[in-house]
Amino acid sequence: MRLVLLGPPGAGKGTQASIIAQRYEVSHISTGDMLREQVKKKTKLGQEAASFMNAGQLVPDKVILDMVRNRLKRKDSEKGFLFDGFPRTVPQAESLNAMLEKAGKPLDAVILLDVKDDFLVNRLTLRRNCPECGSIYHMESKPGRVPGYCDNDGAALVQREDDNEKVVRQRLQVYHEQTAPLVDFYRKTGQLSEVDASQEVARISLTVDRLLEKKAKK
Ligand code: AMP
């Protein structure tokens, strides 16, 4: 199964991607996670990317496409993959199509997790992450058994640098300008399925699951 999860920041792409990747045994490829890893390691790429990320802007297409091309060469992507946060521009989507066509492995589905902006500002500014295992929390709806600490490994939760309100609003604007055109792009190819992502995690997951089962049967 080869999938793309599309949607604004905070729509729940990361959460749903982890669930789908486990259930269908495909590689979860998050360009945001890959970039944050580079930032943490203080590599040249990471230092370049951080200035874009902290300003709520997109990292240039070429940087992202080189990273994805290399990632797809890894053996674990042969069993299938799920892109989370990629593609984010029409040129990225076109390059991805070209890459996959060349390999004779087109996408099976693109799932749009759709939510209104007001909802997202709350979700993102109250979001917290485990620095050890990457699990995602929310200070009101999912604070952890001991609030502020990860249920899996006890690590103190942290807030992503780009989850403050000013940067969140900028990221949403960038989404509408540069990423939302992908909705039409994939609608035209007949690959798009839309899911209401303002519902709770389990319900979204169920809807996505039914959708993927239908696709698998085709
Ligand atoms: P995410 O974790 O997907 O919200 O990504 C965090 C930040 O990483 C974004 O706001 C961008 O600055 C950058 N980023 C992640 N994926 C991409 C992409 N496909 N294209 C451009 N920038 C990206």
Six-digit token string for 215: 């696709």
Out of 2, 71, 105, 160, pick the active-site residue.
Answer: 160
- Respond yes or no: is residue 123 known to be catalytic: no
Domain boundaries, the chain: 2-114+166-217
What tens digit of pLDDT does each residue of 22-42 get? 999 999 999 999 999 999 999
Q: Residue 59: phi, psi to the nearest 5?
A: -75, 140
- Respond yes or no: is residue 128 known to be catalytic: no
Give mean pLDDT, residues 49-58.
Answer: 95
Ligand 1 pocket: which of 35, 82, 94, 166 to mutate (most atoms within 8 A of CB): 35
Give mean pLDDT, residues 181-194.
Answer: 95
Half-sphere exposure (CA, 13 Å, Cβ side) for 215? Answer: 19
Nearest to 162 by CA among 35, 74, 66, 44: 35
Give mean pLDDT, residues 49-75.
Answer: 95
Distances in whole angstroms, Cα of residue 31 to Cα of each of 59, 67, 99, 123, 215: 10, 8, 16, 20, 25
pTM for the whole structure: 0.90
pLDDT (0 to 100) of residue 216:
78
Q: Which atom of ligand 1 is nearest to the CA of 87?
A: 19
Superfamily of domain 2-114+166-217: P-loop containing nucleotide triphosphate hydrolases (3.40.50.300)
Give mean pLDDT, residues 59-63.
Answer: 98
pLDDT (0 to 100) of residue 118:
86
Nearest to 126 by CA among 114, 141, 111, 115: 141
From atom 19 of ligand 1, which residue's Cα is the shortest distance away?
86
Q: Which atom of ligand 1 is nearest to the CA of 88?
A: 19
